[in-house]
Amino acid sequence: MAKKKAKDAGLFEAVPSEGSSAIAAPQLVPLADPSWGAIKKAANWDHTALYQAVTETLFLLPAYFKSDLRVTGISATDLHTFNTALGATIETQIVDALNNLREEWDPEDKYRKYQFVRQAQRFPDVILRGSTPGTEADIIMGVELKGWFALAKESEPSYRFKVTPNACAPWDLLAVYPWAFSDVISGTPRLFQPFVTSARYAAEYRNWFWQYGMRSSGNKNINFSTVKHFYPAKSDMIADQAVSDSGRNFGRVARYRIMDEYMAKLAGEKLSGISISAWQRFLGVFSEEQTEENIEREISRIVKDFAPISPELSSDDVTRLKESLLEVVTILERARAT
């Protein structure tokens, strides 16, 4: 159980398996493994406690996240646009919240000269960097941070992670934060528990899955980046590229099964008392072409399908679920008519 919790928290590092690593999936090895110690020694890096504290803080962050954004009057057909429109702002506010939780990741004030800062169009998005002269290292670690609007048209993150593994420091993290409006179609952004893992592991697993994990007869070759240093410059060509990718799926982290368990848990999270999966399905059928009658018919189907997989719901709960969705339809229809 302890190992599973550590794996979920991203406290494992990917290393090549013994023997031929050409067809073997990257293996997760605990931080206590000698290979991790060798990496630390070779890189003169000894911030394991910080790494673990930052990882834990990333999971704590949704409970403390506050945003000064408030949105009203959204049409359901426009909801999907908010991932692009507000994504960068929310990601910046996540960084602010992370710095505000300094006592969680730096309880002994050991890193008082460092702060998390966002860097545009560079990998990783967020770095823990020295803010004053005299710091031992300019950058200690990084977080590739992505916000994902959970009620967008696609029911999974569309983010593409193409960074070559050699550009990812062993202590860099990948964190994806789902978010939604507190009142579904209005209100302030609310964060859900993030998906957090090693950035290097995600990159290694992506390449392995593309070449050996997919059921495809097409060309699975990859043109690998030659960059081999951490915290690359903006101009460095750090992306691995699939030779053949007509569907533009290379780099789509959510398509590589690495997020399956996490996404299954997220689907059951509640928003205004209704699961995210039910909202996704409902909003997926609401469009300019749909009539209110068709939408109500689809709501009945959603509730019928949803009730059996939620045994904790009473018949009254199921009735309220349908009424809540129909109430949303009324609000959306009113907004669409104005």
Mind listing the pLDDT tens digit for each residue in 285-298? 655 456 667 766 77
Nearest-10 Cα torsion for 118, 121, 127, 129: -80
12 occurs within a structural domain: yes
Q: Indicate if 205 and 96 belong to the same structural domain.
A: yes
277 occurs within a structural domain: no
Q: Indicate if 91 and 225 belong to the same structural domain.
A: yes
- Is residue 8 predicted with pLDDT exceeding 50? no
274 occurs within a structural domain: no
Could you give the CA distance from residue 247 to residue 258 in angstroms, rounded to a whole number? Answer: 19
Token code pair at residue 46: 């000894």
Supply the pLDDT for residue 16.
40
131 occurs within a structural domain: yes
82 occurs within a structural domain: yes
Could you give the CA distance from residue 62 to residue 186 in angstroms, rounded to a whole number? Answer: 18
Question: Quick one: which H or E segment has residue 323?
Answer: helix 315-337
Q: Indicate if 232 and 310 belong to the same structural domain.
A: no
pLDDT tens readout for residues 70-123: 877 666 666 666 667 677 888 889 999 999 999 999 999 999 999 999 988 899
- 314-336: average pLDDT: 64
Q: Indicate if 191 and 104 belong to the same structural domain.
A: yes
Supply the pLDDT for residue 214.
79
Q: Indicate if 169 and 308 belong to the same structural domain.
A: no
pLDDT tens readout for residues 129-179: 987 766 556 899 999 999 888 887 777 888 899 999 999 998 999 999 999
**Domain closes at, from 210, 238, 268:** 268
Q: Indicate if 184 and 313 belong to the same structural domain.
A: no
Q: Indicate if 307 and 234 belong to the same structural domain.
A: no
Decide if 166 contacts 183 (C-beta within 8 A). no
pLDDT tens readout for residues 20-33: 344 555 554 444 44
- 212-219: average pLDDT: 80
The pTM score is 0.77
240 occurs within a structural domain: yes
Range of the domain at 325: 286-337
Could you give the CA distance from residue 40 to residue 90 in angstroms, rounded to a whole number? Answer: 33
Supply the pLDDT for residue 174.
94
- Is residue 13 predicted with pLDDT exceeding 50? no
Q: Indicate if 312 and 253 belong to the same structural domain.
A: no
Q: How many domains does the chain have?
A: 2
- Is residue 34 predicted with pLDDT exceeding 50? no
Q: Indicate if 202 and 312 belong to the same structural domain.
A: no
Supply the pLDDT for residue 311.
59
Q: Indicate if 203 and 83 belong to the same structural domain.
A: yes
223 occurs within a structural domain: yes
Q: Indicate if 51 and 151 belong to the same structural domain.
A: yes
Q: How confident is the model at residue 185 (pLDDT cuts 50, 70, 90)?
A: confident
275 occurs within a structural domain: no
Q: Indicate if 235 and 332 belong to the same structural domain.
A: no
**Domain closes at, from 268, 294, 319:** 268
pLDDT tens readout for residues 218-272: 788 999 999 999 999 999 999 999 999 888 889 998 888 889 899 999 988 888 8
Helix (H, G, I), strand (E, B) or coil at 286: coil
Write out the DSSP string of 88-136: HHHHHHHHHHHHHTHHHH-TT-TTTTEEEEE-TTSSSSEEEEE-STT-S
